[in-house]
Amino acid sequence: MGQGGSFNRLIEELMRLPGIGPKTAQRLAFFMLKMEAQEAKGIAQAIIDLKDKTRFCRICNNITEDEICGICSDAARDKKKVLVIEEPSNLLSLERTKEYKGLYHVLTGVLSPLDGIGPKDIKIDGLMQRLNNGNNVEEVIIATSPTIEGEATARYLSQLIRPTGIKTTRIAYGVPVGSDLEYADEATLIKALEGRREI
Amino acid sequence: MPLYKTEAIVIRTIKLGEADKIATLFTNELGKVRAVAKGVRRTKSRFGSALEPFTHINTGIFIKGSSSLYRMRDTGIIHSYHKIREDINKIAYGLYLLELVDRFLLEGDVNKGVFAFLKDTLDFLGEREDVKEIFILFGLHFLRLSGYQYKFDRCISCGDDPLIAFFSPHKGGLICNGCIRGEQRGMFPINKAVALYLNSVKNIDGMIIEPANTDIVNEAAEIIKGIFTEIIGRPLLTQEFINEIKG
């Protein structure tokens, strides 16, 4: 290709990232080449820090730099509610709403029978330990995606939690805000009708 | 490139890039195909939930450029079979059926008989509670439609009506105690009541199954799974899930 070894190596490393093909990797590499050295080092250091300092919260599996994340250690959070999500990125989306004040549990995945991913492959045991350890949880809100995998996970969890007597709820399904009813599909409309409420 | 309009059942999808998916579809007209759905993961995508496994859709597929994958467009839901999604047992057995179809059929294999039977089975799986019976019925008819004709009434070697027997997926049916010789690998014991039950279900024309003793149904379901394991060479991934949700 004519460029130096370190340039090619950067392209190859960038291509490991999701959604980055050879052309995008090359464009990013040229962009970094033109950057101030300090800026480029800042990116490199951020990646090193991420790998050295970040870990999963011992309680909820959220990403954190401490043993316990900021949400689990926040005394102001409602400890009677635990919201179950698939990935830490879901937590960021929910926190942006500023509506939910309870705790979380990140499963770090979802049951996917067609891919051979079963209950032992995700953090279900940790959730059950939290619920069985006298933490006075009164409600578990299951917020897995409305896909077949998310649904299988939600149904499986509700089956496991039922004997504890803890109230288990599932987030509502429906028509996305700002969308057009005309384009909503049959499955979404059925769920939206089932989940209707009085106004 | 021509646009093929076809009915299809969604078997599975995998993510592609930022917003796309590759769907494995079992189509009525072109058999099993893989097709790219552009932008399907965006909230406001017109695909909506059309690419969820089990969904019976109408779609248009075409080849673009030199790609080996089809592209999907103009996709609408005919039936979402949403009731399957409300029961973990139905999800597990339903996914087993989809994995079975995925494993057995090669890309481009057209099998309109299996397509029609899968559609009916998913319908019944959503509406009825006798999940294992539906599974057994599908399994036996799927085997027949795929060219496997098993005998459950007599020993395939001597033709006798055996009291105690083994079942051999590779030899095609029951083998009585008198005829069993040497290697028994790949065979499993089967009792007469279960063999009779499987024989009666095999001969059913339709989807109505007479109620049977739970132990017989459970054992018959295990025999069907055993047959598929032997034919494929290993258990299906969804079988492990079925075992795990039983607790």
Domain span at residue B33 reads: 4-80
- Partners of A154 on chain B (C-beta within 8 Å) are none
Q: Are residues A42 and A98 in the same domain?
A: no
Q: Could you give the C-alpha distances from B215 to A44, A58, B193, B222, in angstroms and in order?
A: 62, 44, 10, 11
- Partners of B93 on chain A (C-beta within 8 Å) are none
Consecutive H or E run containing A102: strand A102-106
Residue with tokens 């033709």: B159
Domain span at residue A30 reads: 5-53
Contact (CB, 8 A) for B59 and B74: yes
Q: Are residues A107 and A145 in the same domain?
A: yes
Contact A148 B95 (CB under 8 A): yes
CATH classification at residue B145:
1.20.1440.120
Contact B49 A185 (CB under 8 A): yes
- Partners of A148 on chain B (C-beta within 8 Å) are 52-54, 85, 91, 95
CA distance B2 to chain A (A): 26
Backbone angles phi, psi at B169, to 5 degrees: -60, -35
* CA proximity to B51, closest of B76, B18, B17, B19: B76
For residue range A19-42, what is the model confidence (pLDDT) as tens digits? Answer: 788 999 999 999 999 999 999 999
**Whole-angstrom distance, CA of residue B4 vs CA of residue B190:** 46
For residue range A135-189, what is the model confidence (pLDDT) as tens digits? Answer: 789 999 999 999 999 999 999 999 999 999 999 999 998 888 887 888 788 888 8
Question: pTM of the full predicted structure?
Answer: 0.87
pLDDT number for residue B68 = 81
- Residue A140 amino acid letter: V
Q: Are residues B138 and B214 in the same domain?
A: yes
Report the number of secondary-structure helices (H) and strands (E) in chain B: 6, 9
Tokens of B82: 């949403």
Q: Is the ipTM of this complex over 0.95?
A: no
Tokens of B183: 């290697």
For residue range B132-172, what is the model confidence (pLDDT) as tens digits? Answer: 999 999 999 999 988 888 888 888 888 887 677 888 888 88
CATH classification at residue A39:
1.10.8.420
Kindly identify which residue of chain A lies nearest to residue B243, measuring between CA atoms: A118
Tokens of A184: 């909503």
B98 to chain A, any CB pair closer than 8 A? The answer is: yes
Q: Report how far apart the first and last C-alpha atoms of chain B are (Å, whole number).
A: 51
